[in-house]
Amino acid sequence: MTNGHPLIAGIQQIGIGNLDVHATWRWYREHLGFDVPVFEEAAEAKLMLPYTGGKPRSRHAVLALNMRGGGGLEIWQYTCRTPQPAEFQPLVGDLGIYIMKIKSADVPATHCFLMKKGAEILGEITRNPAGQQHFYLNDPYGNLIEVVEGNSWFTDSDRTMGGVFGCTIGVSNIEKSLHFYKKVLGCDTVIFDESANFEDLACLPGGEAPARRVLLRHSQPRQGAFSKLLGESEIELIEVKNRKPRKIFQDRYWGDLGYIHLCFDISGMDEMKERCESSGFPFTVDSDNSFDMGEAAGRFSYVEDPDGTLIEFVETHKVPILKKIGWYLDLRKRQPGKPLPNWMVKALGLNRVK
């Protein structure tokens, strides 16, 4: 039981549509440490019809974690069609998930490491309006990444980088968006709310334009089986002031190139459905009882924020802990909200791909 309220464990993953799932995963393993697979499966996406042209689409997907702590990546590739890029260069403030945030325990050291690896760094290390050190880079496929100071860690490591810390989302009206992100996702703490020409964005396409930025975090600790691993998170909203923003996924399918969704790991899907409906954001997709990803299973749903950006909820039922010996955990038999023992979550690391 969840006492009538859904419980959010944290950001489970951000989905990345790409042309080559294995090449993309290799880059993220080698550069950002996403080397622990939770599942890898080739199958048909049958339930996303509102976002895939009304037809089931075959795909290959990998969900990978960085065990330092933080959310994972769902690296997602169509196998039945060629995924399409945006027909324009997305700019700061365009509608949708524009930047993925990766947390670092030592931003200068991470910057140095990625420079030596030959990553495409944009600009220098600067500070955001909250005073955090951060910098930006492109992955080889044109996806913007922000490396930002973090202080929520699951394991000690010689790596400076953790997993997904959040994202930056372009919105058309921050006031309307705040209602959604506060009410539905519990991101109820405003870290900063400023309107200006921001020097730390100047290195990004369109980043020199005036904008309003709001950084949100959650006042309540996240609860759930994987809450210690997923850790704290933040969402940054940007509204541009001098132009009409374009929708990054306009006239494209979910699964095409770029950041396709932001996913939260939750307990209490029925309660989340009720919360979304009462807030004016009904589910647009619901797998109902359970889906099976071969190595993992659960129930998933989607809602849209006021600008149509896709937010996914996953209630995990089964997850592989140690695939080599067939050790799978049925989370339906556990008390919702109770974190798994650290040793059990750390056992996921035994599946690491070197």
User: Per-residue pLDDT tens for 133-150?
Assistant: 999 999 999 999 999 999
Residue-wise pLDDT tens digits, 62-112: 999 999 999 999 999 999 999 999 999 999 999 999 999 999 999 999 999
Q: What percent of the chain has pLDDT over 90?
A: 82
Looking at per-residue confidence, does 320 or 43 come out higher? 43
* pLDDT for 326 beyond 90: no
**Within 10 Å of residue 195's Cβ, how many Cβ atoms?**
13
For residue 222, give the 3-state DSSP assignment: coil
Pairing of β 161-170 and β 234-240: parallel
**pLDDT tens, position by position, 277-293:** 999 999 999 998 655 55
Buried b / exposed e over 286-313, threshold 16 CB at 10 Å, is bbeeebebebbbbbbbbbbbbbebbbbb
Q: Is pLDDT of 297 > 70?
A: yes
Distance CA 216, CA 81 (A): 37
The 211-217 sheet, strands edge to edge:
120-127, 133-138, 144-149, 96-104, 161-170, 234-240, 211-217, 189-196
**pLDDT over threshold 80, residue 328:** no
**Tens of pLDDT along 174-227?**
999 999 999 999 999 999 999 999 999 999 999 999 999 999 999 999 999 999
Segment 246-265, tens digit of pLDDT = 999 999 999 999 999 999 99
Residue 3 clears pLDDT 70, i.e. is over it? no
Give me the pLDDT at residue 316, please: 86
| Out of 131-135, 152-156, 166-170, 189-193, least confident range | 152-156
Q: What is the pLDDT of residues 264-278, one digit of tens each?
A: 999 999 999 999 999
Task: Give the largest Cα separation in the chain, rounded.
Answer: 58
Domains of the chain, start order: 7-351 (3.10.180.10)
CB 239 within 8 A of CB 171: yes
Q: pLDDT category, 327, cuts 50, 70, 90?
A: confident
The mean of the pLDDT values for the chain is: 93
Give 145's strand partners. Answer: 100, 137
CA atoms within a 13 Å half-sphere pointing along the CA-CB vector of 172: 11
| pLDDT score for 294 | 53
* pTM of the predicted structure, to 2 decimals: 0.94
Q: State residue 1's pLDDT score.
A: 46
- At residue 336 the predicted structure's pLDDT band, cuts being 50, 70 and 90, is confident
Alpha-carbon distance of 345 to 342, in angstroms, equals 5
